[in-house]
C-alpha cells in the first residue's frame, strides 16, 4: 500500500494500513500451574518448529508465575522454583497457619537473638539449596518439569505452557506465528454479504498439505461465528470436527485423533457467519451519497496486514501463499470485483446471483486477497496487453481518465524494466468512497482513496503528481510484494522500500515533467529527521506482536528503505538493476528475507563485492551516520559516529556503517562526472585532495543517507562560496546543506547563529528545493516559539522570514502557472506568507476567494494556491460558512480535501471543537479524515491544546476506529505532541500514555513523542536566551 496522500501544497504522510485489532487487548486466559498437573490432558509431541519456543513471549498470565510485577531476575527465579516444585512454604490449606505471610502481622514485643550455631546451620542450609539450584540450572539437557530434573533428557523437548481456549480446553499452540507443519495449497471461498443487515455468511474450503507429522491444525480466524467445520483426509469421508479458539491471538485449532503424516493431503471446510466490519479493515461496509442525495451502500476489503482472518478462516501470514477461487452471492442491482476476471454468473434460487471468478494463476499471500460488492462504473483499455480498468462511483466516471492513462503507461514500463510480464489477465484500480489507507496493492484489484485516484479535467500538475505517484507505488508492488513477498513483517521494507523507490524512479523516467526529484529529496530529509531519534528502529527489525506489525508501516520501512536503495544504486549503478531483476527472477512466487536481496546483488557484481557486508550496516541497526570532516593541507580526515539526537554512549561506541561517500569541490561541483567516491568503513580514514582545493561538499545531490559536519572552517568556506555565487552547487546540494545545518543545530553541534549565516549567504536563492527546505525548518522553529508563547521572539522570526523571502513572495503571480517546480515554490511561499498574516498575501487570497464565491464557484483557483486561499477564507465567519457548504457539495476530491484543511485551520475554539467532533462521528466528515483534521488543528495556536485534550478524552473511541500502532494512531500522537517543549507538557504526556497500559502505553510512537518533547525542551533551553541577539 501507499502511505501517501497529498494536496498540492503539501506532501503529507497518510495512513496506509488502518487495521483495527482491538481484540488483541483481551486479557489471556489463566492457567494454574500451582494445581496438580494431572488435571491437564497429555499434549501431543511437539512439532519441529516448537523447539525454539520461548514461553515468556506468549504474553500468558500463569497463576503463580507472573501475576505480580517482577523484574527479569525475580521472574526467572520464581518461575523456575515453582516449576521445580521447590516451594519454600507449605501451601497446603491444612498445614497453613492463620498467620499468613501475606497478611500484615503485629510486630512482636521482643525478639530473641539467634545463637551462633543456629546462624551457621541456616547459612549451611542456604548454601546447599543454592548449590542444588545452580546444578539443576546448569545441568545440560535438563528438562524442567514439576518432577524436577532427575536425569538428562535428550529426546523430549520442553513442554510449553498452553493457553486456555474460549471453551476452557487447552489451546494447542502458544505462539503468535503459526506452526509450519501444515501448508495451505488452495482456498475455495463462497461469500454472501447482506448489505441491509450488514452481515455476511461464508463457506471456506482449504486444501492442505502436511509438511511434517502433527496432531493439530492451527490457523487464523477473528470475529467469525463458525457454525460447522469438517475435515477430510485424502479420499476419505468428511467428518465434523471440534474447533478451538484462542481470541487474544485470533487463532483457531483442530486437534486430530490420529497423527497426520508428512506428505498427506487433507481438506478443512468451514461454514460461518459474521458482521461486516464498521471500521476500515476486514470485509467492511462503506457508503456514499449519490448526486440525487440517496445513500448508497457497498462492501469492500482491506486485509493488510492482519485482517484476512476477519473475512475467512485462513493461514494469515505472508509466507503461507496459496491459490484462491472466489464466489460472491449478490443482489441483481450490485456488481462484484475480485483479484481475477469473472468466469461466470449464475442465478440462484433465492433471487441472488452468484459471480464466480477464475482461480488465481499465481500463489498469493492472504493479505493480497480482495473483493468488492458495489455499483461502480468503469473505463478501460488493453494497450499494454492486459485489461486495465478504473472503477468509480457513477458520478465520478469522468475523473478516471488520467488514472487509466497513467496506469497503462506504468504497466508497460514495469513489464520492460523488470523483464517479467505482469502475470494476471487484468488490472483493476478502484476508487473507494470511504477508505482509510492511501491505497492497497491487492493483486489485480488495487484499491484507492478517491483523492489518490480521481482527478478533474482542470486539475493542477501538483495534483497529477500525487495521483501518478500513488499509482506508480501500487503498480510496483505487483512485482515487489506480490510476486516476491517478504517472509515476515520484520522485512516489510522489501515491499515498501522498493515500491517507494520505484515510485520516484519510474516517474522520473516516463514523466519527467512531474518533477518527482524534488519530492524524493524532501522525503529523504523527513526520513532522516525521524531516524535520528533514539526511539527509531532498524529497517529490518524484530516483530513479535500485532501492534509491532502495525508500527512497521512507517517512514523507516518506506522512505528510509527507498533512500538506502537510492544510495546503493548511486554507488553501484551497473549492478543495481541487474541485481534486482535477478532477485525477482530467482524468488518469483516465493518469500524472501533481506539477505536474499543482498545475495542477488552480490551474484551480479562485476567486482564480486560483498553487498551484504556493505548493506547490513544500513538495515540491521537503527539510525544513520554523522560524517565529520577536518582538513590539514592536502589531507582530509573523515570520521563517523551515529547521528543520535538523544545521546547513547554505549551505542555510539559500537555502531559503524559502510558509507559510500561522494564529494565535489570548487574546481568541479555541478555535473555528475565531478562527483568522486570514497568508501568509509572504519571509524576514521584519510583521503588526499590538492592543496589548491578551497572547499569540499560531501554527499553529491544528497543521494547518501547521512549528515555531514564540515567543522567551523569547512562551513565558513562553503558559506563564503555561496555568498559569492549561489549557483556554485546544485539546488539539491544547497537544500542538503540547509537540512544538515538545522539538524546539527538540533544536535547542539553548531549554534543557531551559524544556521542564520548560511541562510543569509543564500539570500538570492530562487530554486524550489532549497527554498522549501528553509521555509519548512524556519516555520518549525516559529511554531515551537509560538506554542511557548514567546511573543517577542515569534515577532522577530516572523520578521526574519518575511524579510529574507519577502521579495520572492511578492514576485509570485496569482494566476495559472504551468511549471510544476514553480507551482511547488509558489505554494510554499504563499502558504508561509498568508500563515504569517503578510498583508498583501491575505488581501490577494481574500480577493480570489470572493471572486470564486461570486461566480458561484465556477471561476477556477489555481491548484497550488487553493490551500492558502481556503485557509485565509476560513478565518472569517462568512468564509468559513461558505467553505463548509462548498465542502459538502463538491465532487472533486482533491479540492474537497484542501477545503477540509482550510476549515480545520480556523482559530475559532467553537469551530475547532465542532470539526474535531464531526471527524470522530463520521457523518458530515468521513472518519478517514480525522488524522488530517487533528494535524491541521495542531498547527494553529488556538487548536493545539484543544486537540491534545480531545485525544485524551476520546482515546478509547480512537482506538476502536484505528488500531493500536497503525499509521493513523502514529500520526495523531505525533501531531498532538510534537510541538510541546516544556516540562509540564512532558509530564502530562508521560502520565496520560502510562495510564493507558495495554491500550497504547507500549507503542513506539509514544516513545518517539516523549523523546521529541525532551529534545524540543533541550533546544529551547540551549537557544532561547541567545535567540533574540541572533535574530
Residue keyed to cell 475559532: 908
List the one residue out of 998, 1019, 747 whose CA is nearest residue 1006.
998
List the one residue out of 180, 205, 219, 202 whose CA is nearest residue 266.
205
- Please state, as a whole number, how many other Cβ atoms lie within 10 Å of the Cβ of residue 156: 10
The sheet with strand 265-275 has its strands ordered as 239-240, 225-233, 265-275, 199-210, 182-194, 323-330, 353-357, 342-347
Concatenating the DSSP letter of every residue in 834-848 gives HHTT-HHHHHHHHHH
Q: Where in 584-694 does DSSP place strands (E)?
A: 591-592, 625-632, 635-642, 659-665, 676-680, 684-688
Residue 254 grid coordinates:
483442530
DSSP 3-state of 451 = helix
Return d(Cα 625, Cα 655) in angstroms, integer: 9
Residue keyed to cell 518469500: 591
Pairing label, strands 426-432, 445-449? parallel
- Whether the CB-CB separation of 247 and 166 falls below 8 Å is answered with yes
Instruction: Please give the torsion angle defined by the CA atoms of residues 100, 105, 109 and 111, in that order, rounded to the nearest 10 degrees.
Output: 40
Residue keyed to cell 524579510: 803
Concatenating the DSSP letter of every residue in 190-251 gives EEEEETTTTEEEEEEEEEEEESS-EEEEEEE--S-EEEEEEEEETTS--EE---EEEGGGTE
Work out the widest C-alpha separation in the chain, in whole angstroms. Answer: 104
How many residues appear in the chain? 1031
Phi, psi of 442, rounded to the nearest 5 degrees: -40, 130
* Catalytically annotated residue among 474, 547, 790, 929: 474
- Please state, as a whole number, how many other Cβ atoms lie within 10 Å of the Cβ of residue 450: 22
List the one residue out of 685, 680, 636 whose CA is nearest residue 662.
680
Return d(Cα 934, Cα 977) in angstroms, integer: 11
Residue 499 grid coordinates:
515500491
User: How far does the chain reach from its first CA to its final CA, in angstroms?
Assistant: 44
List the one residue out of 162, 138, 164, 163 whose CA is nearest residue 152.
138
The residues, ordered by sequence, that sit 6+ positions from 225 with a Cβ below 8 Å of its Cβ are 272, 273, 274
The residues, ordered by sequence, that sit 6+ positions from 81 with a Cβ below 8 Å of its Cβ are 87, 88, 133
Where do the H-state alpha helices sit in 587-654? 594-604, 611-619, 649-654
Residue 474: active-site member: yes
Return d(Cα 60, Cα 153) in angstroms, integer: 26
Return d(Cα 247, Cα 226) in angstroms, integer: 13
How big is the CA angle at 263 (ends 261 and 266), to the nearest 5 degrees?
Answer: 80
The residues, ordered by sequence, that sit 6+ positions from 18 with a Cβ below 8 Å of its Cβ are 279, 280, 281, 302, 436, 437, 928, 961, 962, 963, 966, 967, 968
Instruction: Please give the torsion angle defined by the CA atoms of residues 315, 318, 320 and 322, in that order, rounded to the nearest 10 degrees.
Output: 100
Pairing label, strands 335-338, 707-709? unpaired
Return d(Cα 482, Cα 480) in angstroms, integer: 6
Catalytic residues: 474
Amino acid at each position: 500500500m501507499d502511505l501517501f496522500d497529498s494536496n498540492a501544497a503539501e506532501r503529507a504522510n497518510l495512513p496506509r494500513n488502518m487495521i483495527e485489532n482491538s481484540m488483541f487487548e483481551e486479557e489471556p486466559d489463566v492457567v494454574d500451574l500451582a494445581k496438580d498437573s494431572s488435571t491437564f490432558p497429555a499434549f501431543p509431541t511437539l512439532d519441529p518448529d516448537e523447539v525454539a519456543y520461548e514461553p515468556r513471549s506468549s504474553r500468558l498470565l500463569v497463576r503463580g508465575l507472573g501475576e505480580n510485577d517482577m523484574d527479569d531476575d525475580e521472574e526467572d527465579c520464581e518461575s523456575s522454583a515453582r516449576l521445580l516444585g521447590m516451594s519454600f512454604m507449605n501451601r497446603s490449606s491444612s498445614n497453613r497457619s492463620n498467620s499468613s505471610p501475606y497478611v500484615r502481622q503485629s510486630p512482636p514485643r521482643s525478639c530473641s537473638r539467634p545463637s551462633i550455631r543456629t546462624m551457621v546451620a541456616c547459612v549451611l542450609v542456604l548454601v546447599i539449596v543454592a548449590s542444588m539450584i545452580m546444578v539443576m540450572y546448569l545441568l545440560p539437557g535438563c528438562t524442567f518439569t514439576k518432577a524436577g530434573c532427575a536425569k538428562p533428557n535428550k529426546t523430549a523437548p520442553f513442554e510449553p505452557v498452553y493457553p486456555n481456549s474460549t471453551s476452557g480446553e487447552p489451546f494447542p499452540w502458544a505462539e503468535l506465528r503459526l506452526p509450519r507443519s501444515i501448508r495451505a495449497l488452495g482456498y475455495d471461498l463462497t461469500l454472501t454479504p447482506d448489505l441491509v443487515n450488514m452481515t455476511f455468511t461464508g463457506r471456506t474450503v482449504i486444501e492442505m498439505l502436511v509438511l511434517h507429522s502433527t496432531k493439530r491444525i492451527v490457523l487464523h480466524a477473528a470475529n467469525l461465528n463458525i457454525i460447522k467445520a469438517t475435515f477430510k483426509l485424502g479420499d476419505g469421508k468428511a467428518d465434523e470436527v471440534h474447533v478451538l479458539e484462542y481470541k487474544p491471538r485470533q487463532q483457531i485449532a483442530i486437534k486430530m485423533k490420529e497423527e497426520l503424516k508428512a506428505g498427506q493431503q487433507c481438506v478443512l471446510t468451514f461454514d460461518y457467519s459474521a458482521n461486516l466490519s464498521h471500521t476500515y479493515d476486514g470485509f467492511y461496509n462503506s457508503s456514499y451519497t449519490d448526486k440525487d442525495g440517496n445513500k448508497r451502500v457497498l462492501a469492500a476489503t482491506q486485509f493488510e496486514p492482519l485482517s484476512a482472518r476477519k473475512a475467512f478462516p485462513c493461514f494469515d501470514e505472508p509466507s503461507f501463499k496459496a491459490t484462491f477461487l472466489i464466489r460472491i452471492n449478490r443482489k441483481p442491482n450490485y456488481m462484484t470485483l475480485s483479484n481475477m476476471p469473472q468466469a461466470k454468473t449464475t442465478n440462484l434460487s433465492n433471487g441472488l446471483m452468484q459471480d464466480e471468478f477464475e482461480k488465481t494463476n499465481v500463489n498469493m499471500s492472504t493479505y493480497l486477497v480482495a473483493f468488492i460488492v458495489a455499483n461502480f462504473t468503469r473505463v478501460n483499455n488493453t494497450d499494454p496487453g492486459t485489461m486495465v480498468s478504473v472503477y468509480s462511483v457513477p458520478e465520478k466516471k469522468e475523473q478516471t481518465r488520467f488514472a487509466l492513462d497513467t496506469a497503462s503507461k506504468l504497466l508497460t514500463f514495469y513489464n520492460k524494466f523488470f523483464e517479467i510480464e505482469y502475470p494476471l489477465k487484468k488490472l483493476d484500480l478502484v476508487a473507494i468512497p470511504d477508505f482509510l489507507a492511501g491505497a492497497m496493492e491487492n493483486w489485480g484489484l488495487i484499491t484507492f482513496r478517491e483523492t489518490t485516484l480521481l482527478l478533474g479535467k482542470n486539475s493542477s500538475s501538483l495534483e497529477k503528481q500525487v495521483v501518478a505517484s500513488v499509482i506508480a507505488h501500487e503498480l510496483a508492488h505487483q512485482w515487489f510484494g506480490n510476486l516476491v513477498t517478504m517472509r515476515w513483517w520484520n522485512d516489510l521494507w522489501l515491499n515498501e522500500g522498493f515500491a517507494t523507490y520505484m515510485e520516484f524512479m519510474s516517474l522520473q523516467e516516463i514523466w519527467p515533467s512531474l518533477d518527482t526529484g524534488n519530492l524524493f529529496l524532501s522525503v529523504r530529509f523527513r526520513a532522516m529527521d525521524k531516524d535520528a531519534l533514539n526511539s527509531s528502529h532498524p529497517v529490518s527489525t524484530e516483530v513479535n506482536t500485532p501492534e509491532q506489525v502495525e508500527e512497521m508501516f512507517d517512514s523507516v520501512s518506506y522512505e528510509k528503505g527507498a533512500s538506502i536503495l537510492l544510495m546503493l544504486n548511486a554507488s553501484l549503478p551497473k549492478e543495481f538493476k541487474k541485481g534486482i531483476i535477478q532477485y525477482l527472477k530467482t524468488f518469483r512466487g516465493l518469500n524472501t528475507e533481506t539477505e536474499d536481496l543482498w545475495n542477488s546483488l552480490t551474484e551480479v557484481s562485476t567486482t564480486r563485492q560483498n553487498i551484504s557486508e556493505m548493506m547490513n550496516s544500513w538495515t540491521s541497526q537503527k539510525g544513520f551516520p554523522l560524517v565529520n570532516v577536518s582538513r590539514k593541507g592536502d589531507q582530509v580526515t573523515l570520521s563517523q559516529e551515529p547521528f543520535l539526537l538523544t545521546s547513547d554512549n554505549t551505542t555510539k561506541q559500537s555502531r559503524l556503517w559502510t558509507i559510500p561517500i561522494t564529494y565535489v569541490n570548487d574546481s568541479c561541483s555541478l555535473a555528475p562526472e565531478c562527483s568522486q567516491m570514497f568508501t568509509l568503513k572504519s571509524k576514521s580514514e584519510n583521503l588526499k585532495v590538492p592543496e589548491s582545493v578551497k572547499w569540499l561538499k560531501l554527499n553529491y545531490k544528497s543521494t547518501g543517507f547521512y549528515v555531514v559536519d564540515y567543522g567551523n572552517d569547512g562551513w565558513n568556506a562553503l558559506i563564503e562560496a555561496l555568498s559569492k555565487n549561489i549557483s556554485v552547487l546544485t539546488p539539491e546540494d544547497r537544500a542538503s546543506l540547509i537540512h544538515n545545518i538545522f539538524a546539527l543545530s538540533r544536535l547542539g553541534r553548531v549554534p543557531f547563529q551559524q544556521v542564520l549565516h548560511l541562510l543569509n549567504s543564500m539570500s538570492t536563492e530562487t530554486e524550489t528545493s532549497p527554498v522549501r527546505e528553509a521555509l519548512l525548518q524556519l516555520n518549525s522553529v516559529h511554531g515551537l516559539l509560538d506554542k511557548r508563547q514567546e511573543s517577542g521572539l515569534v515577532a522577530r522570526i516572523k520578521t526574519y522570514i518575511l524579510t529574507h523571502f519577502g521579495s520572492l513572495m511578492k514576485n509570485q503571480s496569482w494566476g495559472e502557472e504551468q511549471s510544476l517546480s514553480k507551482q511547488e515554490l509558489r505554494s510554499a511561499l504563499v502558504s508561509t506568507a498568508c500563515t504569517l498574516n503578510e498583508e498583501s498575501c491575505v488581501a490577494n487570497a481574500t480577493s480570489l476567494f470572493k471572486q470564486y464565491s461570486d461566480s458561484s464557484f465556477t471561476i477556477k483557483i489555481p491548484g497550488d494556491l487553493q490551500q492558502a486561499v481556503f485557509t485565509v477564507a476560513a478565518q472569517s465567519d462568512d468564509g468559513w460558512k461558505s467553505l463548509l457548504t462548498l465542502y459538502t457539495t463538491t465532487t472533486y476530491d482533491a479540492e474537497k480535501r484542501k477545503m477540509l484543511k482550510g476549515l480545520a485551520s480556523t482559530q475559532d475554539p467553537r469551530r475547532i471543537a465542532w470539526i474535531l467532533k464531526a471527524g470522530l462521528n463520521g457523518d458530515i466528515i468521513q472518519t478517514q479524515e480525522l488524522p488530517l483534521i487533528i494535524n491541521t488543528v495542531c498547527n494553529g495556536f488556538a487548536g493545539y491544546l484543544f486537540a491534545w485534550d480531545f485525544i485524551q478524552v476520546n482515546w478509547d473511541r480512537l482506538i476502536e476506529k484505528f488500531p493500536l500502532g497503525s499509521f493513523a494512531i502514529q500520526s495523531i500522537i505525533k501531531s498532538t505532541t510534537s510541538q510541546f517543549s516544556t516540562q509540564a507538557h512532558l509530564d502530562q504526556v508521560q502520565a496520560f500514555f502510562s495510564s493507558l497500559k495495554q491500550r497504547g502505553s507500549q507503542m513506539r510512537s509514544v516513545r518517539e513523542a516523549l523523546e521529541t518533547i525532551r529534545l524540543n525542551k533541550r533546544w529551547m533551553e540551549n537557544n532561547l536566551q541567545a535567540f533574540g541577539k541572533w535574530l
